[in-house]
Amino acid sequence: MTESKEDRLNRELIELLNELRVALPGVQMLFGFLLAVPFTQRFTAITTTQRHVYYFTFMATAAATICLIAPTAYHRLRFRQRDKEQMIQTANRLAIAGTACLAAALTGAVYLVTDLLFKQAATALAAAAAGGLLLWFWYGLPLVRRMNEPD
């Protein structure tokens, strides 16, 4: 049985919104944690580098939150406007941008925690490993698979 264009668009939208429902709780938890960090007593003792990495991580998490929630707002504002295909394309781009920002935020968070616990060499290794794993599993693996598929 073949899928109609309308059925395909409905399925794609449902799949995208379900994927966002998986990503959002983690992003929101990280953002909430990062909002509280500057108000702790130990925050005043961090180094300038740690402060810069914290701010980068905080802003990357904010950007991830914005991008991952945006498809829901877009959908609500464009509801019943017969623009579903464009809406899915835009939401897909926002979701990819959101995961890129989240990958940067997670790498920054790994850097910060490792730097507070172990310093220098372990910090660089842990952040590079986290960033590399995120890049590979979130982007490399699916893109390699995409390139190897017949047209």
Mean pLDDT over all residues of the chain? 91
Q: pLDDT per residue over 104-113, tens digit each?
A: 999 999 999 9
Could you tell me the residue ranges of all domains in the chain?
5-148
pTM, two decimals, is: 0.87
pLDDT (0 to 100) of residue 29: 93
Is the sign of the CA dihedral 72, 77, 82, 86 positive or negative? negative
Instruction: Give 130-138's long-range contacts (Cβ < 8 A, gap of 24+).
Output: 130/106, 131/103, 131/107, 134/103, 134/106, 134/107, 135/103, 138/99, 138/103
Q: Report pLDDT for 64.
A: 97
Statement: residue 126 has pLDDT above 90: yes
pLDDT band at 133 (very low <50, low <70, confident <90, very high): very high
